[in-house]
Amino acid sequence: MDGDAEGVWSPDIEQSFQEALAIYPPCGRRKIILSDEGKMYGRNELIARYIKLRTGKTRTRKQVSSHIQVLARKKVREFQASIKVSSHLQVLARRKSREIQSKLKDQASKDKALQNMAALSSAQIVSPNLIKSQLPPLPQPPYPPPALAPGSRFWPTPIPGQPGPSQDIKPFAQTYPNLPGPVPPPISAYEPLAPPLPPTATAVPVWQDRTIASSKLRMLEYSAFMEVPRDQDTYSKHLFVHIGQTNPSYSDPLLEAVDIRQIYDKFPEKKGGLKELYEKGPQNAFFLVKFWADLNSSDMQDGPGSFYGVSSQYCSTENMTITVSTKVCSFGKQVVEKVETEYARVEGGKCVYRIHRSPMCEYMINFIHKLKHLPEKYMMNSVLENFTILQVVTNRETQETLLCIAFVFEVSTSEHGAQYHVYRLIKD
């Protein structure tokens, strides 16, 4: 176990550990405060917390510290070994230099070669291809080289996947699987080997666990807005809430998790409620979105021609018909529900589902009007504390839950308008 007191770290824990090392740089004895929790964490505590959120498995702060020390000792040993290799390279470089000097007769060529060699590092000097490109050709012997005995030739032609005699061998060299190699003739009386299978895609797509996405459906965009006509052909648009399209990368942090039981009382508990849906699963389809809504639309004159709407967009690798149920809840009870059906449109090899400019229900329009007329933001937030929306996207044919998103709200105080934060819903 190489001195690792806590035992073998399984691959999933080790992967999460390495991700956390990249996310949280060393900070000495300082503590980091997480704004959404208000708690102070040291780096090892943050790494342990990340492992717990990512894998559900517990590693203590001391176990993380011990593992870091084990890896540090391993790095030191590798560095010491590389120093020994470097020393050997220098010896080989000096030997190569002596050989070249003994073969160069012409003084001008010798001077030029020595100038070129002075500019090379030890590692470059011992690389055959660099020596050939940097030094002038050696004088050819007046007689042909002796023929090699049968069986004594090495690599007469390049072997597929291996470097040729003039190539520099590099560790972890990039391979090019699409380049065809020579195909040997089949051996009689034996079945030819099946061609190798193509490399499989990454087990977990980059957008999963980093965006609102299950294994079958991903939300690309969501917005609730008001449009006010300015003249016959143009209008002004105000976004109350908005989730824009993103391009996540594997270096982005994973979504933080919230225990779903903390919000059970904010949504219906009867048949088809949040609790029953979560128990039915799949549990990677459940998310919580905290919106800071922008109600500051004073620069737009609301009137009879105003349009209140909701737009959303999803994508999937499967062609199916989806049903989108949106339930508006007050004090945990359903007030109104809107159900919409959408069909796939194939774009760029993916199935895209768009619900564009769906009219907002009368209840929501009146609710927004009353909310905007409250004199203080704390009063608005007091009302919003008991106001939630539950959106459930299902496969119409199989009734499988594709996404379940719980929306909770506060009023935005930011000059940048509407803001949001996404969490995964779990059950510890």
pLDDT tens-digit readout, 286-297? 999 999 999 988
pLDDT number for residue 44: 86
pLDDT number for residue 199: 44
The answer to whether residue 324 scores a pLDDT higher than 60 is yes
For 160, counting Cβ atoms within 10 Å of its Cβ (0-12 exposed, 13-18 middle, 19+ buried), the class is: exposed
Check residues 177 and 45 and name the one with the higher pLDDT: 45
pLDDT number for residue 114: 64
Instruction: For residue 109, name the pLDDT band (cuts at 50, 70, 90).
Output: low
| Tokens 């008991």 found at | 386
Provide the residue type at 257 as one letter.
A
Q: What is the pLDDT of the chain when averaged over all its residues?
A: 78
pLDDT number for residue 295: 92
Instruction: For residue 418, name the pLDDT band (cuts at 50, 70, 90).
Output: very high
pLDDT number for residue 300: 79
Check residues 23 and 171 and name the one with the higher pLDDT: 23
The answer to whether residue 160 scores a pLDDT higher than 50 is no
Over residues 211-230, the pLDDT tens digits come to 999 999 999 999 999 999 88
Instruction: For residue 66, name the pLDDT band (cuts at 50, 70, 90).
Output: confident
The answer to whether residue 328 scores a pLDDT higher than 90 is yes
Rounded to the nearest 10 degrees, the angle between the axes of helix 61-103 and helix 43-55 is: 100
| Percentage of the chain exceeding pLDDT 70 | 70
- What mean pLDDT is predicted for residues 139-152? 45
Contact 125, 131 (CB under 8 A): yes
pLDDT number for residue 53: 85
Alpha-carbon 246 to chain mean position:
11
pLDDT number for residue 283: 93
How many degrees, rounded to 5, is the angle at CA 323 between CA 399 and CA 260? 70
For 410, counting Cβ atoms within 10 Å of its Cβ (0-12 exposed, 13-18 middle, 19+ buried), the class is: middle
The answer to whether residue 83 scores a pLDDT higher than 90 is no
Instruction: For residue 94, name the pLDDT band (cuts at 50, 70, 90).
Output: confident
Contact 366, 330 (CB under 8 A): no
End-to-end CA distance of the chain: 30
Please provide the size of the chain in residues.
Answer: 428
| Tokens 């949040």 found at | 274
pLDDT number for residue 103: 65
The answer to whether residue 145 scores a pLDDT higher than 50 is no
The answer to whether residue 116 scores a pLDDT higher than 50 is yes
pLDDT number for residue 54: 82
Over residues 266-285, the pLDDT tens digits come to 998 878 889 999 999 899 99
Check residues 44 and 189 and name the one with the higher pLDDT: 44
Please write down the HEC assignment for all residues of the chain. Answer: CCCCCCCCCCHHHHHHHHHHHHHCCCCCCCCEEECCCCEEECHHHHHHHHHHHHHCCCCCHHHHHHHHHHHHHHHHHHHHHHHHHHHHHHHHHHHHHHHHHHHCCCHHHHHHHHHHHHCCCHHHHCCHHHHHHHCCCCCCCCCCCCCCCCCCCCCCCCCCCCCCCCCCCCCCCCCCCCCCCCCCCCCCCCCCCCCCCCCCCCCCCCCCCCCCECCCCEEEEEEEEEEEECCCCCEEEEEEEEECCCCCCCCCCCCEEEEHHHHHHHCCCCCCCHHHHHHHCCHHHEEEEEEEECCCCCCCCCCCCCEEEEEEEEEECCCCEEEEEEEEEECCEEEEEEEEEEECEEECCEEEEEEEEEECCHHHHHHHHHHHCCCCHHHHHHHHCCEEEEEEEEECCCCCEEEEEEEEEEECCCCCCCEEEEEEEECC
- What mean pLDDT is predicted for residues 356-384? 92
Q: For 91, phi and psi rounded to 5 degrees? A: -60, -45
